[in-house]
A and B are shown apart, each in its own frame.
Chain A
Amino acid sequence: MNIEAKTAWQGYLRADGRKGIRNVIVVAYMVECARHVASEIAAPWREQGVHVIGFPGCFPNGYAQKMLEKLTTHPNVGAVLLVSLGCESMDRKTLAQTVESSGRPVETLIIQRDGGTRSTIKAGREWIENTRRELENTPRATMTAKDLIIGTVCGGSDATSGLTANPAIGRAFDQFVADGAITIFEETGELIGCENIMASRAATPELADELVASVAKAAHYYTVLGHGSFAPGNAEGGLTTQEEKSMGAYAKSGASPIAGLIKPGDVPGKGGLFLLDVVPDGPVRFGFPNISDNQEIGELIACGSHVILFATGRGSVVGSAISPVIKVCANPETYRRMEDDMDVNAGRVLEGAATLDEVGQEIYDLVLSVADGQQTKSEELGHQEFIMVYKSFEPIGPSCLPV
């Protein structure tokens, strides 16, 4: 693939000064009971940048509230429609105020107040039609690599993930960090076994302690649940143990110093490499920390990620609402089987057809092209998955973000 590298492009300028690479209208359901109405409102523009997100639970949850506040004010989002049933606990008023004070158009529909399914869908579609016209006038601003936040996740891992896709993403990450961009890697449960190696890269000794503690928390959490972050397909793909999977996953972080530890919804204030701690704090509640890959993708986006680099060996097909997902396929056999879903064939490294540096450069260039508007495979295919379940977090401590 020959991609012309962009060094600067036109992004979307938001009132808070942040810049986005997409101008999405988000339709957010406040409880599962409002999801059908939200999806029907969005349906006519499913391929024209109207995305559905939301929270299924009726009980209140501070994590879900913060996630929705961060996601609806993400720089890739231009306008927000909240769809409430009416009786659920989500604080839709505060959420709407947060969006409004970010300078974005926002509207709240309440199904019980607005006459039920049919009339709420009608009102929602009218609002979107008007808002789409309004968004045509969104101010633009020049963006370069240093304006980007890039998250990475791996899913459907096999033994090739840690050999090709993950280290190639690590190389692209190092280049972005050198540019002054923010890069975020995650899933402390998938770093079990390499916590000490990772801690040696921390910017300060106090941060090193925090990194080790975050992995110990994950190990405890998974031990109580009786199940690690290791799926049967991982073993079928040649991975034998959690720590082997971890070493492969860890390679995504590259070789830059680790500048800080963040939690879902925390947006780093300066360039560098950050670890996102996705495992809840306190006693084990609400079940598995991430029930599937899209919850982690949603959390990376809530931390400001404009683009997600997704490494897969077995072959995941997911995309996401709000931010484009670039699929980096680690396994050359999987790539041949699922080429339509894959943006980068990192498996060429195993076959001697490319080096890790070459694939890393290809990923770097592709991120810039996608930032300039090029559609990823999952965007072309209409993938806009989103999932969020209950969690609880304490705020990060002072050692987590050394100045």
Chain B
Amino acid sequence: MLNDKLLQLSPDDNIFVARCGIKAGDNLTIDGATIAVENSIPLGFKVAARDIEAGEKILKYGAPIGSAKQAIRAGEIVHLHNMQSDYLPTYDREKGRFVDEH
């Protein structure tokens, strides 16, 4: 457990998990730096633990769960818009297609 807002699941991870809903404008303390949250982060969602380069593996539970589609800054939410599966594409109900299709 990192602090009251974030959970670190494995020391190797480059993401943290939100322990509660975090509102836009709230401050997060990551690696001693204070970062203002741009977009709200719901409970259980992933937050970059450090700057991540495009193509880098996203590590959760110490295991790769996909790759960054673009550069991600520390404190940013990590989800469908900036990472993707290395196995199977993820389906979006609203768009009626897989999110990795363009």
Contacts and interface: CB of A to CB of B under 8 A. Distances in A.
Interface in A203-258: 219, 222-223, 227-228, 230-232, 235, 237-238, 240-244, 247-248, 251
B102 to A, nearest CB: 17
Nearest to A164: B44
B90 A230 contact: yes
Given A162-B61, A247-B65, A350-B19, A242 B87 contact: yes
A197 B63 CA distance: 9
Nearest to A222: B88
Given A162-B61, A163-B17, A333-B43, A241 B93 contact: no
Of the candidates B58, B63, B66, B79, the one having the most CB atoms from chain A within 10 angstroms of its own CB is B63
Contacts of A332: 43
Contact of B66 (A160, A194, A240): A240
B52 to A, nearest CB: 13
A194 B42 contact: no
B43 A160 contact: yes
User: What does DSSP make chain A's interface, helix, strand, loop or mixed?
Assistant: loop
Contacts of A219: 87-88
B80 to A, nearest CB: 6
A158 interface: yes
Contacts of B17: 159, 163
B44 A240 contact: no
Given A159-B17, A159-B45, A243 B87 contact: yes
A232 B91 CA distance: 6
Interface in B32-49: 42-46
Interface of A: 158-160, 162-163, 192-194, 197, 219, 222-223, 227-228, 230-232, 235, 237-238, 240-244, 247-248, 251, 313, 331-333, 350-352
What 5 A-B pairs come out closest when comparing CB atoms?
Answer: A159-B44, A232-B93, A241-B85, A244-B65, A228-B88
